[in-house]
Chains A and B, each alone.
Chain A
Amino acid sequence: MGAVAYAPKVVTIWEGFKAWFAQQGFAFDYILYSNYEAQVEAQFDGTLDLAWNSPLAWVRADRMARSRGQSAQAVAMRNTDCNLRSVIVVRADSPIQSEADLRGLTLGVGAIDSPQATLLPLHHLQQTGLKAGEDFSVRRFDVLCGKHGDHIGGERDAARALMAGEVEASCMIDGNHLAFGLDGTLPAGATRIIARTELYDHCNFTASPGASQSAIDRFVELLMAMKWDDPQVRPLLELEGLKKWKPGRTEFYPALAAAVDEQGFYGPDGSILRADYRY
C-alpha cells in the first residue's frame, strides 16, 4: 500500500496497522511517498496494490485508469471522509456579505493542490460567476505542495492572513473553521462565513487496476473489523482521525473533478497540466 508522508505520525499509523494486520495473519506492507503524484503513478507500474489517496489523487487515479481502459476502485474510507464542506470566511466587520462582493478583492487560499482550501472553493465561486484571476485575485499559501492540502499549514496561514488584513477573505474546511476558533487562530466571533460549498468526500483507499481482488477484499474485510473499542487499534484510529471505516463511495467527487478541469490541474488522462505546480 502507498501512503503519503505528510507528517511524522504517518509512520506510527502504518507501523501500527501493519502489526495489527500481521496479527490477523494478513501480509501487509507500505511504502511512503513524499507526494501523491508519485504515489498514483506507482499504482500503474505494478508497485502498489492500493493507495491511501487524497480526493485529488483519487480523481487522478480514476482518470489515468479510464484513459488506459482500466478501472480504479475506491474500496474504503473513514467515517470522517464523508459529507465535508468548505467555507469562505471574512472578518466579522467586513462589508462583504456574499460571493459577489469579492469582485476586485483578494482571496486567501491554501496550497495549489488543496481540494478543500483551494480547488473546491474556487470552483464554488466560478459557479456563482466569479473567475479567479479575472474577477478577484488569489493569494495562495503553498505549504508542502504535492501533499494535496493534507498539511493544515496552508489553511492556517490563509486564516492568519485574513486576521492580519492581508486578504479580504479566506478558504478552509468547515471543521477547521471550528478548530481555528477553538485554538484562537480565528478568535470566536471575529469572522463570518459568507459561503459554503456543496458537500464533498475526502480520502479513500484506491485499489490499483489489476490488484488481486481477493487480497483487496481481505484488506477491506479486516479494515471493517477494526473496532474503536479495541485499545490496540483505537490510538491508531485517533491518529488517522476516524471512528470507523466505511465502504468506499465515489458519488461525492464530481465537484472536485469539475474544479480540476476548470482550473486546468489535470488533463482527462490524469496528466499534470499546471506549470506552476511544484511537488
Chain B
Amino acid sequence: MNRASTARTEASFVPTIDIEALGLDEGGLLLVRRALAALPVGQCLQVRGASPDWDLHLTAWCRQQGHDIETHTLESGRLEARVTRGPWAEGRWLGALQTGQSRLAAGDLPAETADPAWGLAMRGATVEAGGPSIGFGLSRRDELWAATAGDLYRQAAAAQWDPETAIDWKAPFDLPPAIEAAVAQVMTYLIENENAALVVPARHLGQVHPQYREVQQVLALQCADEARHIEVFTRRLGLKGAAPMLSTAGGQASLHSLMLAPDFSTATFLLSVLGEGSFITLLTFLSDHAPDPVTRQICRLAARDEARHVAFGMAHLEYRLSVQPDYQTRLQNAVEQRHDELADTAGLNEEVFDALVVLAAGDLTASALAKGHAAVHQLKLDMAAGRRARLLRLGFAPAEAQRLADLHTRNFM
C-alpha cells in the first residue's frame, strides 16, 4: 500500500488527506483523526479514499464525534468528503488537572498533597476533569515520602534475584537430625516473621497515591522481596524432608502489633527501622553460623534485601522528622506502647532460642553449647547496638536511644 499523504491544494487551500485504499476500520481513522487534530475548530478537511464504503464509515464516525460532513463525487468518479472539525475534542480538556512533573530532579519533591481527582493517572499527566475521585489513604507527602526513594527503587530493581539460580540447592550436605531440626525451627520462625514483613507494607501499598510513584515502587519490591524470602525459607525447610515446626502465641502477638500500628510512619519505624534492622543482624548471624551452604546462601541474600528495607525506613523517618520534628514523640510512644502490650507475653520462644544456640554450637556437647550460647548472647547485644545507632541517626538523644533500643520486642522483629 502506498503511503497516505496530506497535501494542500493550491486552488482552495483546503487541507486534504488521501487515505487511499486503507479502510477506516483498519487504521484509516487514525489518519483522519491526526489530520483533524492539526486543524482549528470550524476548519474543513477534505478526505479522499478508495476502500469500499469508506464514506459510509466516515459519515457514521463524524456523526458520533460531532463533526459535520458532506460527501460529493468528483468528475473522476471518485468520492470526496468534506469534514468540518467540531469543537468537542477541545471541550474535553477545559479545566483539565495538572499533576506535577514525571521526573524529579535532585531536590525536587512531588506534590504536598495528591488530589483524589488525579485518580490513577501517572504523575505529570494532564487529567480530564470529571473523572472518578479515587480515595487513597496515603495522599500527603509528609506521611510517606523519602528523599532517596527513587534511588532505593532502582537499587532494589537491579538487585532482584531468582531463587532457582541464585541458590545452589543441589550443594551436598547431610546434617545430624538434631541440627537439621534446629534449622527447621529457625525457618518456621523466619517465615512467620517474613509473613508480617510482607503483609504490613502490602496493606499500606494499596493506600499510596500514585503521585508518590517512587514510594509505591519501593513498597512493591519490598513485598516481592518478602515473597521470595518466604519461598526460599520454605524450600530450605523441606529440602531434607523436615516438617514445619512450632509457632508461639507470644511470637504472633509481637508480629500482630506491627499490623496494628496507627499509621504508615509508625509501622515503618517499628517494622523496618527496628524489626528488619534487627533481622539483618540475625540473618548475618545465620549466614555465619548456619551448618549448611544452602542456609548460609539464603540468609546472606535475604540480609541484603532487608538492608534496603531498613534504608527506606530510615530515609522516610528522616524526611518525616525533618518536616515534623515533634513526630519523634509519637515514635517514642509507639515503642513504649508496644513494649507494654507485649510485656505479658513470652517474647522469643524457647524453641527458637535453643535452635539458634544449637546452630551456633554446631553440636550438642557442653563445650560447643557454651560457645553457641555466648554467640546468641552477643547476637542480642549486636541487635540492640544496631537499633541504638539507627535511633541516634534519627536524632534521638543517646540515653533515649539506648532506652528505646532496649524496649524493643524480645521476638526480634
Contact = CB atoms under 8 A, between A and B. Distances in A.
Interface of A: 79-80, 82-85, 87, 173-175, 177-178, 181-182, 188-189, 192-193, 196, 227-229, 231-232, 234-235, 241, 243-244
A231 B92 CA distance: 8
B63 A188 contact: no
Interface stretch (B53-61, B194-202, B335-343, B355-363): B53-61
A227 B91 contact: yes
Interface residues of B, number: 27
Given A83-B63, A228-B88, A182 B130 contact: no
Given A79-B66, A182-B25, A193-B53, A232 B130 contact: yes
Contacts of B129: 231
Nearest to A184: B25
User: Shortest 4 CB-CB distances between A and B: which pairs?
Assistant: A181-B25, A231-B130, A243-B66, A231-B129
* Interface SS, A side: mixed
B94 interface: yes
A253 to B, nearest CB: 17
A254 to B, nearest CB: 20
16 contacts: A83-B63, A174-B56, A174-B57, A177-B53, A178-B24, A178-B57, A181-B23, A182-B29, A189-B23, A193-B56, A196-B56, A228-B66, A229-B91, A229-B94, A234-B130, A243-B88
A85 B59 CA distance: 10
Contacts of B66: 79, 228, 243-244
Contacts of B87: 228
Interface in B46-68: 52-53, 56-57, 59-61, 63-66
B130 A243 contact: no
Nearest to A232: B130
Interface in B21-77: 23-26, 29, 52-53, 56-57, 59-61, 63-66
B128 A231 contact: yes
A175 B26 contact: no
A193 B65 CA distance: 23
A232 B26 CA distance: 34
Given A177-B57, A228-B88, A188 B64 contact: no
A79 B63 contact: yes
Nearest to A176: B60
A143 B297 CA distance: 63
B86 interface: yes
A87 B57 CA distance: 11
Contacts of B130: 231-232, 234-235
B95 interface: yes
A175 B26 CA distance: 15
A234 B87 CA distance: 13
Nearest to B88: A243
A182 B27 CA distance: 9
Contacts of A85: 56, 59-60
Contact of B95 (A80, A189, A231): A231
Contacts of A188: 23, 25-26
Contact of A80 (B53, B56, B64): B64
A267 B79 CA distance: 42
Contacts of B95: 229, 231
Contacts of A234: 91-92, 130
Contact of A228 (B24, B59, B91): B91
Nearest to A196: B56
Interface in B78-113: 86-88, 91-92, 94-95
Given A174-B56, A193-B56, A241-B64, A181 B26 contact: yes
Nearest to B22: A188
A34 to B, nearest CB: 27
Contacts of B64: 80, 175, 241
Interface string B107-136: 000000000000000000000111100000
A178 B95 CA distance: 32
A243 B64 CA distance: 8
B336 to A, nearest CB: 49
Contacts of A235: 130-131
Contacts of B63: 79-80, 82-84, 175
A192 B52 contact: yes
A79 B59 CA distance: 13
Given A79-B66, A193-B56, A231-B128, A178 B26 contact: no
A87 B65 CA distance: 20
A182 B129 CA distance: 28
A4 to B, nearest CB: 21
Contacts of A196: 56
A190 B129 CA distance: 40
Contacts of A178: 24-25, 57, 60-61
B91 A193 contact: no
Contacts of A83: 59, 63
A232 B128 CA distance: 11
A243 B150 CA distance: 43
Nearest to B27: A188
A80 to B, nearest CB: 6
B25 A193 contact: no
A177 B54 CA distance: 11
Contacts of A174: 56-57, 59-60
A118 B61 CA distance: 22
Which of A178, A182, A193, A234 is most buried by chain B, counting CB atoms within 10 A of its CB?
A178
A50 to B, nearest CB: 24
A177 B56 contact: yes
Interface in B210-242: none
Nearest to A228: B91
Nearest to B26: A188
Contacts of A80: 63-64
Contacts of A227: 91
A240 B15 CA distance: 33
A192 B25 CA distance: 13
Interface string B250-281: 00000000000000000000000000000000
Given A227-B91, A229-B94, A234-B130, 4 more contacts: A181-B26, A192-B52, A193-B56, A228-B91
